[in-house]
Amino acid sequence: MDKQTTHFGYRDVAVAEKQSLVGEVFTSVASRYDVMNDLMSLGLHRLWKRHFVATAGLRAGDRVLDLAGGTGDISGLMAPIVGDQGMIVLSDINAEMLVRGRDRMLDEGHSKRISCARINAEALPFPDDSFDLVTIAFGLRNVTDQPKALAEMCRVLRPGGRALVLEFSEVRQPLLKPVYDAYSFAVLPLLGKVVAKDEASYRYLAESIRKHPNQARLAELMTAAGLERVSVRNLLGGIVAIHSGYAI
């Protein structure tokens, strides 16, 4: 690839095209997104997200930006912790996903604590030092310019605020890797075809995981974006990792 191209799964595409291609994927899968997450991860995504929020260091009254928040899993878990004095912005670049997240937050009674906004993670419409915590869960790998998004996350954090990234990463257990690869490229597209009627989108999702920076590289990108005390915690042998960094 050169600077005019980027990856969309295993395909090289023009940088200007990736956002719309990713948008088509999530518009296609939005209606079955939560069901597919349960099926694809055998329900494990719920445990990962609960652990992510439980270890985020959230306090009552905190201001939080949930990027690529989709159908609201992370925001819904954080809302009771920040309480009525806190504030969460549930954001996503995809309108179909955000509508489902907004409706879910209304159904769960979080409307006083959570605002919804359609936002591009590469250009956050907030002033510096706006948030105590910025999260992005299973969304960073779909961002076209990841360094720019990480720099924006750092910019809107108050000094001492924390950026947290929950994302699929590089498997660290040699015996697990072939099983995981077989599952990703055989089972996931089949589930997408049968349940979501969209095999291609779920093949892209499997490919996008392999193109995403591994643990060490993402830690480097977070440090380069201005975050300090960057740390990594692997879950399930590195299938998923939590990256943490602090603004100065």
pLDDT tens across the length of the chain (248 residues)? 456 899 999 999 999 999 999 999 999 999 999 999 999 999 999 999 999 999 999 999 999 999 999 999 999 999 999 999 999 999 999 999 999 999 999 999 998 899 999 999 999 999 999 999 999 999 999 999 999 999 999 999 999 999 999 999 999 999 999 999 999 999 999 999 999 999 999 999 999 999 999 999 999 999 999 999 999 999 999 999 999 999 99
Q: From the CB of residue 217, how many other CB atoms can be counted at a distance below 10 Å?
A: 12
The verdict on residue 3 lying in a domain is: no
Q: Does residue 201 sit within a domain?
A: yes
The letter for the amino acid at 82 is: V
Residue 5 within a domain: no
pTM: 0.96
168 assigned to some structural domain? yes
Domain holding 64, by residue range, is: 19-246
> Has residue 192 been placed in a domain?
yes
The token duo for 152 is: 């924006």
Task: Tell me the CATH number at 69.
Answer: 3.40.50.150
Residue 4 falls inside a structural domain: no
As given in the structure block, the two tokens for residue 93 are 């670049």
Residue 207 lies in a domain: yes
Residues whose CB is less than 8 angstroms from the CB of residue 62 and which lie 6 or more positions away in sequence, other chains included? 81, 82, 86, 132, 133
- The count of structural domains within the chain is 1
Which of these, 51, 83, 49, lies nearest to 66 by C-alpha position? 49
Residue 12 forms part of a structural domain: no
